Homo-oligomer: A and B are copies of this chain.
C-alpha cells in the first residue's frame, strides 16, 4: 500500500521529470533560434540575389545555404531526440503537431532554393516563403512557452518567444526599408506597413521587458548602439514622413544601421538562451535538493518511537508530514496561478491565430491571405491587429457564416 509520504516523494519526482523535459525543450528552442537567425540572413541575401538578377551575392548565398543546412541538422537532431515512442510526453500532442508543421515546411526548402537558384520566382515571393518558414519555427517556441509547467521557466520562454518574434519583425522591417529606399519611392500602403512593423516590434519587446530576467535586460541595454539607433530612427522618420520620394543612396545606410541593430539582438538572444539553460539547471538542482531534504527529514522522523494509539506514526511525524504535504500542495497551487498569469502574455497571438483560422475556414483563404486581410483591416482602421482579430471573432459569434 502506498503511503502519503510515497505520494509526497512521487509528486516531487514528477516535478523533477517535468523540469528535465523542459530543459530538453529549452535546448530545442535555443537551436531553433540559431537556425532562424541563419534563415533570416539567407532571406536577405536571396533578396539581393534575385533583385540583382543573379549578379550579386551568388557565392554568399551558397555559403549561407551551407550554414543553414548545418543548423537545420541541429534542429532536426533535437526533433529526433524527442520521445515519440510508447510513453506519452507531457503536452506531446501540441508540441509534436507544431514539429510536424515545421518538418513539412523544411521538406519544401530544397525545392524553394532550387527555384531561387534558377531565378524562377520574384524576390517578394521568396521572402514570403522564408517568412512563412520562420513563422512555423516560432510556432515551436510559442508552444514550449505555452505548455511549460514551471512559472519561472515559462516566463523565460515567453520573454524568449517575444524577443525572437520582435527580432523577426525587425528583419522584415530591414527588408522593407532596403527595398523602398532602393526603389527611391514609397506609397501610402508601404508607409502603413512600415509603421505597423514598428508598432508590432514595440509590442513584442514590451512583453520581453515585462518578462525577462534583470540580467538579460541589462545585456539588452548594454547591446544597444546609440549611434546606430539614432540613425535608424532618422531613416524611419524619412521613410514614413509625408514626402514619398526617397534618396536611393540611403539604402546602404539603412541596411547597415538595421543590421547593426539586428546583430545586437542576436547577441542578446544568446544571453536569453544561456539564461534559460541555467534556469532549468538551477530549478532541477533545487527540486533535487528539496527531495533529498524531504527524504532525510522523513527518515529522521521515522526513528521516533511509535504512538500506542494505533496510528501508523508517532504524533510528531504525523504533524510534520501534514505540514509537508500542505506546504507542497500550496506551493504547487501558487505556481499554477503564477503560470496562468505568465501565459496570459501569449493571449494576443492566440487571438490572432484564431481569427486567422476563422477566416481560412469561412472565407476559404490561405493562411497568408487571412493574415494580410487582418493586417489590412488594422491599417485601414488605424487599430492594432489584435483588436481587429478580436472584432472578427466576436462578429463570428453573431453571424456564424459571415465573419469579417
Residues of B within 8 A of A305 (CB): none
Residues of B within 8 A of A334 (CB): 354, 357
Contact (A318, B108) CB under 8 Å given A2-B80, A328-B100, A329-B139: yes
List residues of A (76-100) whose CB comes within 8 Å of B's CBs.
Answer: 76, 79-80, 84, 87-100
Task: Point out the residue from B88, B93, B100 that lies within 8 Å of A21, measured CB to CB.
Answer: B88
Interface membership of A321, Cβ < 8 A: yes
Question: What's the minimum C-beta distance from A182 to chain B, rounded to whole angstroms?
Answer: 32
Question: What's the minimum C-beta distance from A356 to chain B, rounded to whole angstroms?
Answer: 9
Check if A332 sits within 8 Å of B11, measured CB to CB: no
Residues of A within 8 A of B (CB): 1-8, 10-15, 17-18, 21, 76, 79-80, 84, 87-101, 103-104, 107-108, 110-111, 114, 139, 146, 149, 309-313, 318, 321-322, 325-326, 328-330, 332-334, 336-337, 340, 343, 350, 353-354, 357, 367
Question: What's the minimum C-beta distance from A175 to chain B, rounded to whole angstroms?
Answer: 25
Task: Point out the residue from B94, B330, B354 that lies within 8 Å of A357, measured CB to CB.
Answer: B330
> What residue in chain B is nearest A14 (Cβ atoms)?
B92
Interface of A is mostly: helix
Check if B350 sits within 8 Å of A10, measured CB to CB: no
Docked Cα-Cα span, A89 to B354, in Å, equals 30
Docked Cα-Cα span, A123 to B14, in Å, equals 40
Task: Point out the residue from B14, B95, B333, B354 that lies within 8 Å of A350, measured CB to CB.
Answer: B333
Contact (A84, B7) CB under 8 Å given A18-B93, A97-B328, A329-B101: yes
The 9 closest A-B pairs by CB, nearest first: A14-B92, A17-B88, A11-B96, A10-B84, A4-B103, A7-B100, A15-B93, A4-B104, A14-B93
Docked Cα-Cα span, A312 to B100, in Å, equals 15
> What residue in chain B is nearest A83 (Cβ atoms)?
B10
> What residue in chain B is nearest A312 (Cβ atoms)?
B107
Docked Cα-Cα span, A296 to B52, in Å, equals 47
Residues of B within 8 A of A76 (CB): 1
Docked Cα-Cα span, A329 to B354, in Å, equals 11
Check if B311 sits within 8 Å of A337, measured CB to CB: no
Contact (A89, B14) CB under 8 Å given A4-B103, A354-B334, A354-B337: yes
Residues of B within 8 A of A340 (CB): 343
> What residue in chain B is nearest A97 (Cβ atoms)?
B11
Check if B310 sits within 8 Å of A111, measured CB to CB: yes
Check if A88 sits within 8 Å of B4, measured CB to CB: no
Residues of B within 8 A of A337 (CB): 350, 354
Check if B18 sits within 8 Å of A336, measured CB to CB: no
Check if A354 sits within 8 Å of B333, measured CB to CB: yes
Docked Cα-Cα span, A87 to B87, in Å, equals 8
Check if A8 sits within 8 Å of B100, measured CB to CB: yes
Question: What's the minimum C-beta distance from A325 to chain B, rounded to whole angstroms?
Answer: 4
Docked Cα-Cα span, A106 to B391, in Å, equals 52
> What residue in chain B is nearest A307 (Cβ atoms)?
B111
Check if B354 sits within 8 Å of A104, measured CB to CB: no
Docked Cα-Cα span, A107 to B325, in Å, equals 13
- List 12 other contacts, CB 8 Å, given A2-B80, A97-B332: A7-B84, A7-B97, A7-B99, A11-B93, A91-B149, A93-B149, A94-B333, A97-B328, A101-B326, A104-B318, A111-B310, A333-B354
Check if B93 sits within 8 Å of A322, measured CB to CB: no
Residues of B within 8 A of A114 (CB): 309-310
Question: What's the minimum C-beta distance from A72 to chain B, rounded to whole angstroms?
Answer: 12
